[in-house]
Structure 1
Amino acid sequence: MEKVIQKEITVVGSRSQKPADWEPSLQLMADGLVNAEALVTKIYDISKWDEAYQHLKSGEGIKVLLKPLDLDENEGEN
């Protein structure tokens, strides 16, 4: 992520759903009828984004999450 900031790279996300499309899905999860955690195949620290990408590209992963660095863990580093 540091390189993204240093090089002033813009990261753009996209989706094909409208906000209203999420409401039924969120309600199913809230009601305990859908376990969204079961869809996540692996969680990576954001610093390992390249490893996460390779995991997806290989076909081993369905959905990975990138966990942001915990700011408390990084206090004093600079």
Structure 2
Amino acid sequence: MSRYSEENTEEPEFIIRAYTKAELAQLYNPDLSPGLALQKLYRWMRKNVLLTQALQEAGYNKYRHSFLKREVRLIVRYMGEP
């Protein structure tokens, strides 16, 4: 295998930015429908007590349709990159 084709097989770097909740959920669960992916992401988030506390301290609003950049940063810190 050539060096060029090895470089092309790498996945793009995850960028910390604001994401819609469905968009971020799909990144973590690409094989699920958007609704199921979102439910699964919410479940993971609720089970992670440290993440839940950090999001509350950051002013997380569960009714907002997107995650702010600072919230995405916390999710990635506690759950890893998608």
Q: Greater relative contact order: 1 or 2 (C-alpha under 8 angstroms, separation 6 or more)?
A: 2
TM-score (norm 2): 0.19
- Structure with greater strand share of residues: 1
